[in-house]
């Protein structure tokens, strides 16, 4: 089977590409390398074709999708914080780019498109766990763009018969997730700081909870969604572990794994962030046979091991500078 992974040089995308290539699939990657890296695809020369380009460009997407049976659409402008800083670009990449992918897939007769959505579509509703019958309450441009992409996927399945499946990922983490970005996700950022001997910075009071999902689980969900029966077509479903942990407790676990005693620092909460998040994964279990394969602690151990190798002794001083903490921090200790 020929497959295309948009955003395949990024974090989740590169983990998916590796799994596909190792199973013998012929994989093409489309990525503009704005957040992804060629290094994430190292070791697969000849097995993976990389096209550098933008999902907003119809000609580029057409060239990338020719001869493809399944498209995994992971390309996006990531994170709530980035979308708050630049909502126009967020809309252009995440909404217009997704529409370009869907139009091209329709015109070329692609069998199925698996779309990477986000738990952010639920907003800050108090109901836990989050389930797919809840209304979308989009509190950031990123969340709005992801829900718009889902809506287009559903519409294309209904109107044009294009098979689409949308996966609402909950706080995915793991190897090849960049800890040094200004917009890095919480686990690589915390682990990166702590490996460098620095106190992790929590935005808010640390009581907020997340359903952290190891990347192997997200990859498995993508593969299941590509091969699931017609009952999954046009649907959106949660992909998580079905549990949650506070950021304060996360710091405790990382300290335990690292053998450290680093207390967090606190900064002002960020606009658009939600308080609590936990996935009801029963719909994904029913429609695509999804279940989490790797738990939180096992995933954290693997992630810390990968980051520890990446941040060798000679690189840790650079890491300290790159992972500089924000200003106006509260004193160490828990509030």
- pLDDT on residue 308: 92
Burial class (CB in 10 A: 0-12, 13-18, 19+), 97: buried
Cα-Cα end-to-end distance for the chain: 54
Nearest CA among 102, 121, 120, 122 for reference residue 112? 102
Nearest CA among 19, 291, 41, 307 for reference residue 187? 307
Rounded Cα–Cα distance for residues 273 and 9 (Å)? 26
| Residue reference for tokens 């199973």 | 23
Rounded Cα–Cα distance for residues 324 and 34 (Å)? 21
Rounded Cα–Cα distance for residues 214 and 210 (Å)? 12
- The share of the chain scoring above pLDDT 70, in percent, equals 92
Residue 314 pLDDT exceeds 50: no
- pLDDT on residue 328: 44
Residue 310 pLDDT exceeds 90: no
Res. 319 pLDDT band, cuts 50 70 90: very low
- The torsion angles phi and psi of 71, rounded to 5 degrees, stand at -115, 125
Rounded Cα–Cα distance for residues 63 and 36 (Å)? 20
Distances (CA, A) of 332 to 57, 66, 86, 298, 314: 48, 55, 32, 28, 27
Q: Pull the structure tokens for residue 330.
A: 């509260």
Chain segment 32-72, per-residue pLDDT in tens: 999 999 999 988 777 899 999 999 999 999 999 999 999 99
How long is the chain?
A: 335
Q: What is the DSSP track for 95-141?
A: IIHHHHHHHHHHHHT-SEEEEEEEGGGGTT---SSB-TTSPP---SH
CB-CB contact of 167 with 150 (8 Å): no
Distances (CA, A) of 111 to 157, 220, 224, 245: 11, 19, 14, 38
Q: Where are the domains of the chain?
A: 2-170+213-239
Beta bridge partners, 168, equal 117, 238
Burial class (CB in 10 A: 0-12, 13-18, 19+), 277: buried
User: For the domain bounded by 2-170+213-239, which CATH number is listed?
Assistant: 3.40.50.720
Rounded Cα–Cα distance for residues 35 and 186 (Å)? 17
By annotation, the residues acting in catalysis are 142
Rounded Cα–Cα distance for residues 203 and 296 (Å)? 21
- pLDDT on residue 329: 54
Chain segment 108-154, per-residue pLDDT in tens: 999 999 999 999 999 999 999 999 999 999 999 999 999 999 999 99
């Amino acid at each position: 089977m020929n497959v295309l992974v948009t955003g395949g040089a990024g974090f989740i995308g590169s983990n998916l590409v590796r799994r596909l290539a190792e199973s013998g699939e012929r994989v093409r990657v489309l990525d503009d390398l704005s957040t992804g890296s060629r290094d994430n695809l190292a070791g697969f020369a000849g097995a993976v074709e990389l096209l550098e380009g933008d999902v907003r460009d119809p000609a580029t997407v057409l060239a990338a999708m020719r001869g493809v049976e399944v498209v995994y659409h992971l390309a996006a402008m990531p994170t709530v914080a980035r979308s708050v800083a630049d909502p126009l670009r967020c809309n252009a990449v995440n909404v217009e780019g997704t529409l370009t992918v869907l139009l091209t897939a329709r015109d070329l007769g692609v069998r199925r498109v698996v779309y990477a959505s986000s738990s952010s579509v639920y907003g800050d509703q108090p109901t836990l766990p989050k389930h797919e019958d809840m209304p979308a309450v989009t509190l950031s441009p990123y969340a709005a763009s992801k829900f718009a992409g889902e809506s287009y996927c559903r519409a294309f399945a209904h109107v044009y018969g294009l098979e689409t499946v949308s996966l609402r990922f909950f706080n995915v983490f793991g190897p090849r997730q960049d800890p040094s970005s200004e917009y890095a996700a919480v686990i690589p950022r915390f682990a990166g700081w702590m490996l460098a001997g620095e106190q992790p910075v929590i935005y808010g009071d640390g009581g907020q909870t997340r359903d952290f999902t190891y990347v192997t689980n997200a990859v498995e969900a993508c593969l299941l969604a590509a091969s699931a029966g017609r009952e999954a077509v046009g649907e959106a479903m949660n992909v998580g572990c079905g549990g949650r942990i506070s950021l304060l407790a996360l710091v405790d676990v990382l300290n335990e794994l690292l053998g450290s005693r680093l207390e967090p620092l606190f900064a002002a909460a960020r606009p658009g962030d939600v308080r609590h998040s936990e996935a009801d994964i029963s719909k994904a279990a029913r429609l695509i046979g999804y279940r989490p394969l790797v738990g939180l602690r096992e995933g954290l151990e693997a992630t810390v091991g990968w980051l520890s190798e990446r941040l060798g002794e000679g690189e840790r001083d650079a890491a300290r500078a790159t992972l500089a903490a924000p200003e106006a921090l509260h004193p160490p200790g828990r509030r």
